[in-house]
Amino acid sequence: MATLQPQTQTNHLQIHRLPQSKYVDAVRWMPPFSAFDKFVVLSFFDSDSSSCTIEIHSLDNSPNNQPILCPLSASPTASRTSSLKTSRDLIAFSTFSGSLNFISPDYRSGEVSLNSSISVQELGFHVGPISCIDVLESECVSVGEDGRVNLVNLGGPKVDYRRIFDGNGLVSHTAAKWASPAEFATGGLGFSLQWWDQRRKPGEPALQFKGNWWPQQPIVLSGVGSGKGQAHLISESEVWEVQFDSHSQSNITSMPSSRLLPVMMCSEDGILSLIEQGAEPIELLAEPCAINSFDIGKQNHSDIICSLEWESLAILSRP
Amino acid sequence: MPAPASDSDTHFSLLPLAPSSSQDQSLPVIYPIRHSLSPPISRIAISWARGNALRVSLFRHHQHVGDGEDDAGGRVVEVKLSGAGNGGTDNDAQWRRIVYGSVTPFAVFQNRKNSALALSKLPVGALSDVEWWEYVMEYSREINSLLGTAKSTASSTVEDPRTILAVDEEPNNLKAAWELLEIFYADKPSQAWLPERLVDWLADYDGLFADTQSTVYSKLVDLQKDLLYLQAIEDDPKYWDGLSSALAVGWLEIVVKLLRLHGSCQLDQLGRRETENGLVEAVVVLVSKVPRLRPELRAGRLGECYRNKTDFIKAWETWRARVTKLECSAFWLECEHQQTKEGLRKLLQIMLGASEHLSATTYNWVELYIAHFLYIRPFTMGLESMYSLAQKCIQLKPVSHHNSLMGLLLGILGENTEVVLAECSKAFGPWMVTHAIELLTAGNDQSEILLREVHDNLGGVSIQELHRLVYAQVLVSHQLTWQTTSTRKARIAQGKTLEICRLYELESVSSNIMKIAGVHHWKHGRKGSGIFWLQQAQDEIRLNKIAQKLFDFVGKSISQETFKQWEGLIELLGSDTRTTGGLEFLHKYRDFKKALQQVGDGKAKDAARRAVESLITLMKSPSTPQRFWLPLLYDSDTGSPESSRTHFMAVDLTHLRPQGHVCCLDYSNNGCRESAASGLTATGKDYGQGRAAEKAKELKLLTWREGPLLDASQTNLLLNKLQELSMAKLRPDYVEADLPPQALNSVRLALARNLGRAILEEQ
């Protein structure tokens, strides 16, 4: 395994763990309403009562204090959350029962509440669990284990969806990410990656990468299914989430355009680390259990929130 | 089958539950099932559902089904079992926190154990005993700290003079049991003063014995309530009973505090009751000076500590002499208050170890046992003598109701590993047993042998493995919801299981879980995920079965464009280091197809050679089903009819056949070779019937324009395969490939030509 050495940068990193006594299926920062408020949206699963909720909490994490999460609003959901995304004025989450739900948070009266929920759960939308969604403006892309790729538009008076592709379950999609209003990428089992361009090639991937990626080798973050180049792996186990990290602003401006932005990733073996091209990874957090998801503060990039496998959250404040 | 009770619509019980015959048995838990089916119910099926839930399927008698519109034929309900395997903790979330928290110390301890083992194999490196026991204690303390922060119930650190007991936190059995194990198995330095450790332990946990009968603790709690309004407490026999009991079990500070509440100690009465007060104070001094064979006492605790046995014996004799002296004092005659006189003298008797008083003031054998340690046999050493003393105490105070802590203590004293584990398992579940085993084996080779021994009656596993297995299942059961969740969640569950299994050396469990996940996905039409999981589980048997099913499917479309749909699936079979079972064929086939495609991309010759290599590997591979031999060869000789771009070999025999024959496709300037080839054609009766095709330049693998791609031995191999195929055709189970009827002949012809050319080339 690559040596993961905490470097001097992390010296002033503050880490707090907040036990929840419920399983945290997903966690996201909400776009801030004002400069001082911090809100997070959480998907919980209570294994004692087999009930699921989606909740908005306010977070008070003033420096040097134990952060306090305070629930503001909660709403029951029919099934466990498989993917949760937030955009400027929308919370979208998909479930293991194959439904896609949109909630617009209500910021009136200084508090945030959940209201006006719209849900897509028609016959034939997805068969079985939706594995990932991504939201851009009013467009939502959803992919599932059934191999389907659907686009949902929220613009009109009623929500409708278009099926872009149906993989018939031969291959399951596990990830989706918008690149531009007309382009998005999806990923699936077996190290496959598709690029979709709705203008150039509607109904089928514009590009497919299958192992043979680019002329130059990709930076391999996880070894599963990548074939060659396993000698030097950054993570020994599976990577659950990856996000570009634009925290160190100075780096970005001075960075040559050919360099990649640093990425943050969390993994099944409990590591949250920051990886910069050509540098050793910086380990931000090492837990005895899996770090299932994380989110970098949308406004304040120094805030990171992680959901841990063992029914707790970790909140990190970077210097 | 007994008729179901029909007293209620909503409740359903199969058998009348006989009231428990023995007092020792805890009552069965009854879970009412709300099913809203009208009776009679003819059949019940029970299986495990998610986590700690049972899935109960109730079926009505078939004759009654359809009586009414709303009548269902059956109902499936889930019954959530609580308390199973959660260490006696009612709060599930709290229990899970203990389980989560224990993984890290367990892992750290395992690591240290393994490295200590590795060190011990080196000639110089062995870990010192002191270090080893420090590790054991560290582990034990960390587990202990997870179980709550129980304060001593019998502490008198409270400022209020009238509050003798601090009753704040509920002590818990799990922590009490763990501390017992720690005292006996982990804390090596204090082995020399085990009896005193037990005195402390009882002071912390005596309240736990109060569930069915009185204890010293419960008596003192009662007394405390009375203290608030009693004026002359020395007149009340309860006061003196409480004092003797507290003294008997060694709660000296409580005794002193209670004695100071004596009326004669009050300032307003001091003058009148001087003698009384003098006697009380003399007893207080003696109580505070009870010699203790231990290095130190917790803050606020009374007694005089002696680390050394000789010093202790000396002090013990002196102290007893002083007690005896006070006992014989003439002042007792001057004491006018009868209860005080009797009560104080009883305290002296207890300190002198009068067994009838010790027995009368204690409420169960453990309390009596502690009293014996303190006042009769403070030198008791070694488990054997401790055990016989315990037996003696049990004779005096028989156990009326089974208590897990008493059972555990007896098991430990009797050095009976099986009993210890059975008590741990019965009362606290597999979590406790798993961790208890670590302490049990920390310094005891005998238990280790017992625990690691493979038992046939346990299905060929050892006691240790069995409990780890059960524990691992409990640990994952909460989140192990792959039956309904996605790959990611399943992988989380798998990750979790893997971690646990790594810790507990239970690889087979994780692989079984992955197999189940794989089959589940496959059954639900998610072929990709299914294969993915079965690969992870290295389940060759199921992969082979799946391969057979896929072949049926692929077989229909192998030479057509639809195969592209399977590309993604085949991608999964990518890395050849992973087990693919019979599916290996699909992967190789994909390579072959790919090579065929690339022939058109400029480097035709290289690609063609690669394609030939793939073809040979495929034909040689035992995983390639026989029924694909011909289609494969036919594919090499033809292409897809529609796409000449991707399948550049698009010379379709079905199109060509009316115009001419295969051999004509071989564009060759060498008439000699041509004829040689034709001469070798075994079934070349069609040869020469046609003329050259217009697309002759688009050549096929088997009849490569620039010269034969297959050498003679390769060609022979393929011809042999065809021969085998012709033989196989005669067998009843032969599956005819979906190909034009002349396919076999055309391939054979092409091969024959190639052979001819190859022979010429090689000459």
Beta-sheet pairing, A160-166 with A173-180 = unpaired
DSSP secondary structure of B157-201: --SSTT------SPP-HHHHHHHHHIIIII-GGGGGGHHHHHHHH
- Is B569 touching A (CB cutoff 8 A)? yes
Answer whether residue B658 shows pLDDT above 60.
no
Give the residue from A99, A127, A166, A171 with the most B CB atoms within 10 Å of its CB, the best one to mutate.
A171
Give dist(CA A133, CA B307) in Å, integer: 69
Mean residue pLDDT across chain B: 73
Give dist(CA B181, CA B413) in Å, integer: 11
Instruction: Give the number of residues written for chain B.
Output: 763
- Residue B357's pLDDT is 94
Q: Burial letters for B214-243: b for 16+ Cβ neighbours within 10 Å, e otherwise?
A: ebbbbbbbebbeebeebeebbebeebbbbb
DSSP B31: -
Residue A237 domain flag: yes
- Residue B362's pLDDT is 94
A163 vs B501 pLDDT, higher one: A163
- Is A290 touching B (CB cutoff 8 A)? yes
* Strand ranges inside A121-210, DSSP E: 130-136, 139-144, 148-153, 160-166, 173-180, 183-188, 192-197, 207-210
Query: Does the beta-carbon distance from B569 to A171 stay under 8 Å?
Result: yes
Closest CA to B133 of B185, B74, B209, B192: B185
Closest CA to B611 of B630, B628, B635, B586: B635
Could you give the percent of chain B with pLDDT greater than 90? 19
Q: For the ranges A255-269, B116-130, B493-507, which has the lowest average pLDDT? A: B493-507
- Tell me the pLDDT band of B688, cut-offs 50, 70 and 90: very low
Q: For the ranges A246-255, B42-51, B411-420, which has the lowest average pLDDT? A: A246-255
- Is B486 touching A (CB cutoff 8 A)? yes
| CA dihedral sign of residues B257, B260, B266, B267 | negative
A10 vs B554 pLDDT, higher one: B554
Query: Which of A172, A190, A309 is the closest to B574 by Cβ?
Result: A190
- Is A308 touching B (CB cutoff 8 A)? no
- Is A286 touching B (CB cutoff 8 A)? no
Minimal CA separation from A20 to chain B, in Å: 9
Chain A from 156 to 195: CB within 8 A of any B CB: 167-172, 174, 188-192
Query: Which of B481, B487, B526 is the closest to A169 by Cβ?
Result: B526
Q: Are B365 and B341 in contact (CB under 8 A)?
A: no
- Is B100 touching A (CB cutoff 8 A)? yes
Give dist(CA B109, CA B329) in Å, integer: 58
Give the residue from B531, B567, B575 with the most A CB atoms within 10 Å of its CB, the best one to mutate.
B575
Give dist(CA B668, CA B666) in Å, integer: 6
Q: Provide the token pair at B677.
A: 């080839």
Q: Are B743 and B737 in contact (CB under 8 A)?
A: yes
Beta bridge partners of A103: A91, A117
Minimal CA separation from A48 to chain B, in Å: 7
Give dist(CA B433, CA B468) in Å, integer: 8
- Environment class of A196 (CB within 10 Å of its CB; exposed 0-12, middle 13-18, buried 19+): buried
Nearest CA in chain B to A25: B489
Q: Are B119 and B126 in contact (CB under 8 A)?
A: yes
Classified as helix, coil or strand, A267 is strand
Residue B485 domain flag: no
- Residue B464's pLDDT is 63
Residue B33 domain flag: no
- Residue A26's pLDDT is 95
- Tell me the pLDDT band of B397, cut-offs 50, 70 and 90: very high
- Residue B8's pLDDT is 41
Query: Does the beta-carbon distance from A211 to B574 stay under 8 Å?
Result: yes
Which range scores top for mean pLDDT: B156-165, B382-391, B547-556, B654-663? B382-391
Q: Of the candidates B404, B420, B442, which is a domain's last residue?
A: B442
- Residue B601's pLDDT is 56
Answer whether residue B387 shows pLDDT above 70.
yes
Give the CB-side neighbour count of residue B217, counting CA atoms within 13 A. Answer: 23
Q: For the ranges A219-233, B77-91, B414-428, B445-459, which has the lowest average pLDDT? A: A219-233
Answer whether residue B667 shows pLDDT above 60.
no
Chain B from 421 to 480: CB within 8 A of any A CB: 478-479
Residues of A in contact with B485 (CB under 8 A): 80, 82, 96, 129
Classified as helix, coil or strand, B542 is helix
pLDDT tens readout for residues B347-368: 999 999 999 999 999 999 999 9
Query: Does the beta-carbon distance from A129 to B486 stay under 8 Å?
Result: yes
Residues of B in contact with A211 (CB under 8 A): 571, 574
Give dist(CA B630, CA B637) in Å, integer: 10
B499's enclosing H/E stretch is: helix B487-504
* Strand ranges inside B366-446, DSSP E: none
| CA dihedral sign of residues B377, B378, B379, B382 | positive
Residue A3 domain flag: no
Query: Does the beta-carbon distance from B526 to A225 stay under 8 Å?
Result: no
- Is B58 touching A (CB cutoff 8 A)? no
- Environment class of B645 (CB within 10 Å of its CB; exposed 0-12, middle 13-18, buried 19+): exposed
Answer whether residue B672 shows pLDDT above 50.
no
Answer whether residue B562 shows pLDDT above 70.
no
Which range scores top for mean pLDDT: A74-78, A191-195, B508-512, B647-651? A74-78
Nearest CA in chain B to A45: B479
Beta bridge partners of B99: none
Query: Does the beta-carbon distance from B528 to A169 stay under 8 Å?
Result: yes
Cis peptide bond prior to B40, omega within 30° of 0: yes
- Is B230 touching A (CB cutoff 8 A)? no
Q: Provide the token pair at B120.
A: 């011990």
Give dist(CA B259, CA B262) in Å, integer: 5
Instruction: Give the number of residues written for chain A.
Output: 319
Query: Which of B50, B107, B575 is the closest to A227 by Cβ?
Result: B575
B414 vs B698 pLDDT, higher one: B414
Q: Are B286 and B427 within one domain? A: yes
Query: Does the beta-carbon distance from B487 to A311 stay under 8 Å?
Result: no
- Tell me the pLDDT band of B243, cut-offs 50, 70 and 90: very high
Minimal CA separation from A284 to chain B, in Å: 19
Give the residue from A96, A170, A212 with the most B CB atoms within 10 Å of its CB, the best one to mutate.
A170
Closest CA to B347 of B466, B248, B203, B225: B248
Residue B516 domain flag: no
- Is B93 touching A (CB cutoff 8 A)? yes
Q: For the ranges A249-253, B43-47, B494-498, B567-571, which has the lowest average pLDDT? A: B494-498
- Residue A291's pLDDT is 92
| Domain extent at residue B607 | 539-762
| Domain extent at residue A108 | 8-317
- Is B231 touching A (CB cutoff 8 A)? no
Query: Does the beta-carbon distance from B93 to A21 stay under 8 Å?
Result: yes
Give the residue from B564, B571, B577, B594 with the most A CB atoms within 10 Å of its CB, the best one to mutate.
B571
Query: Does the beta-carbon distance from B528 to A188 stay under 8 Å?
Result: yes
Query: Does the beta-carbon distance from B100 to A289 stay under 8 Å?
Result: yes
Q: For the ranges A73-87, B40-54, B552-566, which has the lowest average pLDDT? A: B552-566
Minimal CA separation from A94 to chain B, in Å: 12
Minimal CA separation from A273 to chain B, in Å: 19
Query: Does the beta-carbon distance from A268 to B96 stay under 8 Å?
Result: no
- Is B587 touching A (CB cutoff 8 A)? no
Domain count, chain B: 2
Query: Does the beta-carbon distance from A22 to B532 stay under 8 Å?
Result: no
Answer whether residue B572 shows pLDDT above 90.
no
Give dist(CA B648, CA B641) in Å, integer: 10
Query: Does the beta-carbon distance from B487 to A19 stay under 8 Å?
Result: no
Q: Are B323 and B437 within one domain? A: yes
- Residue B119's pLDDT is 75
DSSP secondary structure of B251-288: -HHHHHHHHTTSGGGSHHHHTTTHHHHHHHHHHHHHHH
Q: For residue B229, give Cα distances in angstroms to A39, A241, B162, B225, B226.
A: 55, 66, 10, 8, 6
| CA dihedral sign of residues B195, B198, B202, B204 | positive
Give dist(CA A75, CA A52) in Å, integer: 9
pLDDT tens readout for residues B8-36: 444 444 445 555 444 444 556 777 777 77
pLDDT tens readout for residues B204-242: 899 888 877 889 998 998 888 888 887 788 888 999 999
- Residue A7's pLDDT is 43
Q: Of the candidates B389, B409, B442, which is a domain's last residue?
A: B442
* Averaged pLDDT in 10-residue chunks for chain A of 319 residues: 42 85 92 79 87 91 83 88 89 91 76 72 84 91 91 81 85 89 86 84 79 52 43 69 79 59 87 84 88 90 92 91
Residue B496 domain flag: no
Residues of A in contact with B484 (CB under 8 A): 96
Query: Does the beta-carbon distance from A210 to B96 stay under 8 Å?
Result: no
Domain count, chain A: 1
- Residue B677's pLDDT is 31
- Residue B504's pLDDT is 54
Tell me how crowded residue B26 is: count the other CB atoms within 10 A of its CB: 11
Chain A from 205 to 264: CB within 8 A of any B CB: 210-211, 225, 227, 237-238, 240
Q: Provide the token pair at B658.
A: 């009316």
Tell me how crowded residue A178 is: count the other CB atoms within 10 A of its CB: 18
Instruction: Report the amino acid identity of residue A89.
Output: D
Q: Provide the token pair at B50.
A: 């998610």
Q: Provide the token pair at B64.
A: 């009654």
Residue A260 domain flag: yes
Q: Are B565 and B424 within one domain? A: no
Answer whether residue B636 shows pLDDT above 60.
yes
Inter-chain Cβ pairs, chain A and chain B, closer than 8 A: 128
Q: Of the candidates B417, B442, B467, which is a domain's last residue?
A: B442
Instruction: Region of A137 please: left (phi>0), alpha (psi -120 to 50) or beta.
Output: left
Minimal CA separation from B509 to chain A, in Å: 19
Q: CATH code at A294?
A: 2.130.10.10
DSSP A67: -
Residue A1 domain flag: no
- Residue B641's pLDDT is 34
Query: Does the beta-carbon distance from B492 to A82 stay under 8 Å?
Result: no
Residues B400-408: what's their mean pLDDT? 89
Minimal CA separation from B50 to chain A, in Å: 10
Residue A19 domain flag: yes
